[in-house]
Structure formats: C-alpha cells, structure tokens
Copies of this chain bind each other. A is one copy, B any other.
Amino acid sequence: MSLGKIVVAIKALEDSQRQMIRETAEKLGYSIVFCDDSAEAAREAQDAEIIYSYDSSLGAKAPGLKWFHAASAGVDNFLKPGALPLDCLLSNSAGAYGVAVSEHGVTLTLMLLRRIPDYMENVRAHIWRADLPVKSLTGSRITVLGTGDIGGNYAKRVRGFAPECIIGVNRSGQVREEGVFDRVIPQDQLSEVLPETDILFMALPGTRDTLKMLDAEKIALLPEHAIVVNVGRGNSIDQTALVEALNEGRIAGAGLDVFEVEPIPEGDPAWTAKNLLITTHTAGQMTLVNTRNKNAQMFCEDLKNYSEGRTLRHLVDRALGY
C-alpha cells in the first residue's frame, strides 16, 4: 500500500543522495519521483503530497500539497501570496548552507582586506607591484548581522584570525550558542555598534523585517575604513545608498553575493561601483558536496518526522518568514 506521492526536483543531487532519499521514502511507504526537467516536475506536482525542491513555482501547481521542503535556505519566494496552498507546511534547508555560505563570506572579507580585486587587475595587465595598503582580520572589530547557521559559522571561522571582537546582532539579542560571539545584541541597538565596526557581515533572511536594514542612515554610521559583506539577501541593503557611499569613498569597500535584482541588470550602477566586489549569488547553491549531503539528510530527517505526525525540525513559520 502506498501513501502519498513525493516529488523531488533538484537537478544537482547525485546518485548517492537520490538513493538515500528513495530508500527513506519507500521504507516509510511513499511513492517517489525524481524530476530533473522542470516541465516534468510541474506535471508530477499536480497530485503530489510532498515536494522537495528549490523551485517555489511548483507549489501553486500542487493543489493537494501538504508539505513543501525548500532545498534553499531563503524562502522569500515561498511566502508570496498563492505560492503554496493555505494549510501547506513549509520547511527549509537553512542548516545545509552554513559551511558553504560562511566560507564564501570569509573569502569576500579577506579579498577586500587584502586588496585582491585591485591586485588581480594588475596581474591581468602584468603590472608587478606590491605596495597597496592592506588590512587584516587580526585586531578587527566584526559585526555579524544574523546569528543563525551562516552567521554562527562565519564567527567560528574568523575567530581563528584573532579579531578584537565579534558582535552578533539578531531580532531578540538572544544567545543561541555559547562562545560563538563575544556579545549578542538586539537589532534595535545596531546603530550603537556601527561606528565601531571595521567589518560588517550580513547573513539575514529576506523578510519584511530585514528589508533595507542597512539603509543610508546606517551606512553613514560606519567608519570610512569599514567594509560590508552581504551573503544573505540583497534587499536587506539599500543598494542605491550603498553604491553611493562606495563611489564617494564614505566606506572602503563591499563584497556582495546578493543584490536587490538578480541578475544585476545591464546599466545598473552596481556594475561599476568603486571598490565593489561582485559574485553572482554563488555562495550557497548545491555546488558543494557537503551542502548536497546535508540537504538530503535534512529532508530525510523531516520525512520521518512528517510520516510519524511529529513537528518538522526545519519548519518555517510562514508568518515570520524563517
């Protein structure tokens, strides 16, 4: 006897992860179908009980859907009106991206501090020089916006560089794990720490609450030598204000993997902003085997919870947005 149908639409999964998912599903009595083609996934979604994918558009095509497990960490697209049936459960894969995204964040941070974009331009032109002033994580004051999986992993990674301090900022000011941050403050106190921030690292979910959290006023509080790194969601920064501050030299640099509009449109001033290091939303993705394994494990874990009527471990509060 078969329970409902599971549709898995994640092209990046390897055989090993597919096999683990198939075995878990079949042992629990579900039928399962893997769709690497999006048209096929849309067809299969029509009578699905469970979908596991990063493609939020499948939700609207599945009237009987009971649970959508997002393969992504961010769920902004899943929260839009009509994206999912009203009583459908939503869970996400936030915990799968901490390693990949935090590591990308450290990479962007170090590249800015050590003037790598400038030096790479020199190397392209075979210009041999080594005299640009650089900065260091050692002794720096770091503020981390968002103390979840990504922010916490970033803090653990930069700790080894002996910064002066790492301050975490979240909604409540609550400490989630001891010893990761020197101090955790609520986001309404952010303005107090910005003037003493050398490195501002942002890993916020894309919710109404985080919209343009770094706006013109807050950017103006940062010291001139400060750098900003954002690997969370593009809309948590007022991008126009940031580009302006960069071009006027009011902050020293920014490393952004996420943008208000992606891909960045042709002609957008972001493409030519001074000291702006751009990566093309490459931080997360399922391009790291660690991410793929964890992602699949998290789905299997919650599939067991779901089938036994327990609360999903990776459940998203559809009102709060994370």
Residues of A that sit less than 8 Å from B by CB: 99-100, 103-104, 106-107, 110-111, 113-117, 119-120, 122-123, 126-139, 156-161, 262-264, 266, 271, 278-282, 285, 287-288, 290
Give the shortest distance, in Å, between A179 (CB) and chain B (any CB). Answer: 12
Closest beta carbon of chain B to A30's beta carbon, Å: 29
Could you jot down 24 A-B contacts, CB within 8 Å? Answer: A99-B138, A100-B134, A103-B110, A103-B113, A103-B114, A103-B136, A103-B137, A103-B161, A106-B110, A111-B111, A114-B282, A116-B279, A119-B279, A119-B280, A122-B280, A123-B280, A128-B280, A130-B280, A130-B282, A130-B285, A133-B287, A134-B287, A138-B290, A160-B160
Closest to A122 in B: B280
Q: Measured between alpha carbons, how far is A264 from B136 in the docked complex, in Å?
A: 27
Asked whether A262 lies within 8 Å of B160 as measured between CB atoms, the reply is: no
Nearest CB of B to A140, in Å = 10
B104, A288: Cβ atoms under 8 Å?
no
Interface contact B262-A128, CB-CB below 8 Å: yes
* A285, chain B: closest CB distance, angstroms: 5
Contact B103 A290, beta carbon cutoff 8 Å: no
* A253 shortest CB reach to chain B, Å: 14
Q: Which residues of B contact A271 (CB under 8 A)?
A: 126
Inter-chain contacts of A100 with B (CB < 8 A): 134, 136
Other-chain contact of A129, B128, B139, B161, B280 (Cβ < 8 Å) = B280
> Across the interface, which residues of B come within 8 angstroms of A115, CB to CB?
282
Whether the pair B288, A134 counts as a contact (CB closer than 8 A) is yes
Q: How far is the CA of A107 from the CA of B116 in the complex (A)?
A: 9
With A103-B114, A106-B110, A119-B279 given, name 12 new contacts (CB 8 A): A103-B136, A107-B111, A111-B116, A114-B282, A117-B120, A123-B280, A130-B281, A130-B287, A132-B282, A134-B288, A157-B160, A159-B160
Contact of A119 among B106, B119, B158, B282 (CB under 8 A): B282
Chain B residue with Cβ nearest A257: B130
- B residues less than 8 Å from A110 (CB atoms): 103, 106-107, 110
B288 near A135 with CB under 8 A, answer yes
Taking a contact as CB atoms under 8 Å apart, the answer to whether B114 and A104 are in contact is yes
What CA separation (Å) do A285 and B137 show in the bound complex? 17
Smallest Cβ distance from A113 to chain B, in angstroms? 8
CA distance A119 to B122 in the complex (A): 17
Closest residue on chain B to residue A113 by CB atoms = B103
By beta carbon, the residue of chain B nearest A139 is B290
Please judge, given known A-B contacts A99-B138, A114-B107, A138-B103, whether A128 and B263 are in contact too, CB under 8 Å.
Answer: yes
Tell whether, in the assembled complex, residue A132 and residue B287 are in contact, meaning their CB atoms are under 8 Å apart: yes
Which single member of B114, B157, B287 contacts A161 (CB below 8 Å)?
A: B157
